[in-house]
Amino acid sequence: MQKGTHIKVKIDKVGFQGIGIGVLDQKLNPDVDIPEDEFGKKVLIQNTLPGEVVRAQVFRNKKKFTDAEKIETIEVSPMSVTPRCKHFEICGGCKWQNLSYEEQLKIKQTHVIETLTHLGGFDEEMINKLMQPILPCENQWQYRNKVELSFGWDANMEPSFGFHAENRRYDIFNIKECHLMSDRMFEVALAIKNFAEQNKLTAYKFREGIGLLRSATIREAKNTGEILVNLEMSNEEFSDNLRKEFVESLANFNIDSIFITQVITARGHRTERNEVLLHGKPTIMERMNINNQVYTFHISPSSFFQTNTGQAERLYHMALQNLNLQGTDTVLDLFCGTGTIGIIAAKFVNNVIGIELNPDAVVDAEKNAELNQEPNIEFIAGDVGEILKDFEKEGRINSLQNKKIIVDPPRSGLMPKMIEYILKLRPTHINYVSCNPTTQARDIKELCENGYQITLIQPVDMFPHTYHIENVMGLTYSHISG
């Protein structure tokens, strides 16, 4: 089958990363010049739904599968709904707005099951027995507490401020609505756009390294109502008058913190980021209720904080489930970020050790521990693998009593050395939080091959209308669980 061949495909299911999967069927393509041995091959097509029949164009044909690009829908999926947003066709964001929420949840749960059985090699019956129903999001719209909008140009090279067009690194379309941010956040975004236009400020050109404005980030603490704005720019001049005008342009929105961040880049040199507070306080505050206990957290411009506050409360509750926390325990919170999960765990155990690569996040974590009056928690800045290696050299691994681990790694999962040191620590319980079920399945497989067994599988829908899924898995060492 040649590149450019037009084919008809019925989509059977949606795979990981939201790619539609169908089979090349001769009945749908009786008049297309296709070699007979191609029929029955899987065809992968983005932006398609189960039950949809599409006309597509082949752009890559491999031995085991074919990649094709959707041209048009011939038959609409019975699962489809009308997208709410007028930008749905071009935006690279929430691509499942046209899929009913019930079906989104079913597909996400299926993804977790399939990755554990196909990639992890676990018994499907056992996985289905342990699998808890996915936790749906109560607020499927306006759930984001953080949005980042970019300055740039659209496909016609007109100045624009908004989001990236799908699969386009540099094309930015002007935002006219967004249903994942609150009305207040959207109004702030429009005010920032108007400020830039009125002052004829240029967007930064990444290839040439010239221009001023790069992006604007708006953060809203959902439970306190506090809001932070950060205007990111190059190191070109942003005068005192412009700084004053920028603050004044946001005066009607009761903004709690207004920053500018100048990003200095030079070939062969490390990128520098200089944050300058123009108005208000250096952090906003968010409150979270977990297990009927209220916690308060600082959020700065560069803080990592779960983007969906309501679901984060449920996620953190689940992250502590199955650990059977006791007053004599030592909990290691690996990839701890700003310390949220570790601080919550600290109330129930002897001590917590949080390890995080980003030193700025560690500073925030220490502030959060003080804010929540948790003295029995220690934060260490550094690479998780290297810190665990140092623990081994210092003999600290053996000195830690009743060890339990919470691990929330980046999408790439755990490096082999990290798993090696975790196995040397031999915690009685591990709770593994992941935003990438594929790398999670790989890591869980190795842990289970070395004495652990799965006791909990709990998917959480953090991002409605996208294919992303968060999953919590609990493990216990086999001699503990019998």
Sheet of 213-220: strand order equals 172-174, 159-164, 146-153, 213-220, 227-233, 257-264, 272-280
Q: Is 435 a catalytic residue?
A: yes
Catalytic pick from 178, 336, 435, 448? 435
Q: For residue 67, which of 48, 45, 51, 38 has the smallest C-alpha distance?
A: 45
φ, ψ of residue 424 in degrees (nearest 5): -70, -35
Q: Tell me the catalytic residues.
A: 435
